[in-house]
Amino acid sequence: MLFTSIEFFLFLPLTFAIYWLLRKQLRWQNLLVVVASYVFYGWWDWRFLLLIAFTTICSYASGLLITQLRWRKVALWSNIVLNLGILGLFKYYDFFATELARLLGCSGDSVMLNLILPVGISFYTFQALSYSIDVYKGKIEPTRDVVAFFAYVSFFPQLVAGPIERATNLLPQFLRKREFDYAMAVDGVRQMLWGFFKKVVVADNCAIVVDIVWGDIGAYGSMDLAVAAALFSIQIYCDFSGYSDIAIGCAKLFGIKLMRNFNVPYFSRDIAEFWRRWHISLTTWFRDYVYIPLGGSRVAKWKVVRNTFIIFLVSGCWHGANWTFLAWGAFHALLFLPLILLGKNRKYTNTVAEGRWLPRIKELGQMSLTFVLAALGWVLFRSQSIGEALDFYFALVNGGWHGFNPPKRAIAFVAIMLVVEWLQRSRAHGLDMSGVRHRTVRYACYLTVLALIFMYGVFNETFIYFQF
């Protein structure tokens, strides 16, 4: 079920009403979450439910077995291998089997399984794995409440595209009684509204231009390609962060707090800051469960470089079975390298231009350079093959300046989004107007955003990160 579908707008108020009618019965309330989440997820294909249920049961059982000293490591690694094996089978088997067959001079079609990739499998697999690992490390006690655990793994707002929640944050919220918080719910609606604006107005209008240009790269000049690369950078940000805003806001309606997943990444002053602000739940997952166990930054410099490359290559692989994703990961690792060698990868941890309306010239230059580097990387991400990405780069440099026709509507919506997020860069989301005292101003902003959604929303049939 899509957040932008009619079905969801019928599903959400019905689930919300029943949920709070059951507020005095925690177990029944959690059971409703599970049933609603399985309806939400099964709307695409009911067969996906078998897979998420299997992952949930295995992770739940592993948590209990880890408490037995004799079985601790066996239980942990069995669950890790099993879940990553399932993920690898569905997501990577066809790609690597085909590549190996081609290397051996065989037909790739003969070894393909053509399995349907379950929506959001990478997200809920990592969420389930974090529980087992945290239990093993003693960060959380294993739960015996199977209903609460099913709710934790399948909670529908963040089920298919994150944020990837940790058991230490989300699971305890299903184990305690929840009271309706009016202010929290209202803020959730505001955040959802901003998420819908970013998705259907900004991202989907950018997508129209991006798809046309990428469909015939050779027909466009350098300026058109540069604008398309910039618009895709905005598209993927607004598509994914828009989903996260909707998910986080929706969770607030049910008294659940999810972690922030994006923190204005395009206002970053270097690529290290960008990665602290982009897809935060995945970045911190890799940091805590891969990078630090490898030694993190408290090892010899060459090992820090090695660990950084491993993290970015694994991140690229997580995003999909294509050489373009691995190349994208390697590209960002190379951008990270000078900062590591110079010890400047933690230089910017505060908000840019804090306490000021406008950035300084130096800050503006830093943000512009970081955006350009990220946009060049997104070309690899958007391309279907390394060859297509190279064609784009070549045409970007040698395409000339003929026939430039800037997409005015898309650029106007991008400008609105960037201005709002700049002004709200220290707040949780673009429509967090708790500091605005005048109700008239607040409601004028809400109604303007709502009007733009209804007048200019494109309502595409999917979100980019559903494929991951």
Q: CA-CA distance, 51 to 84, in Å (whole number)?
A: 13
- Cα 419-421-422 angle, rounded to 5 deg: 65
Residue 319 designated active-site: yes
Q: CA-CA distance, 452 to 165, in Å (whole number)?
A: 32
Q: CA-CA distance, 324 to 329, in Å (whole number)?
A: 9
* Selected catalytic residue, list 319, 332, 429, 438: 319
Strands in 254-373 per DSSP E: none
83 touches 54 (CB < 8 A):
no
Short-list 283, 224, 248, 51, CA closest to 153:
51
Q: According to DSSP H, which parts of 25-71 are helical?
A: 26-42, 48-66
Short-list 279, 237, 248, CA closest to 261:
279
Q: CA-CA distance, 39 to 33, in Å (whole number)?
A: 10
Q: How many CA atoms lie within 13 A of 18 on its CB side?
A: 13
Tokens representing 51?
A: 């897979």
- Cα 22-23-26 angle, rounded to 5 deg: 85
Q: CA-CA distance, 223 to 401, in Å (whole number)?
A: 6
* Residues designated as active site: 319
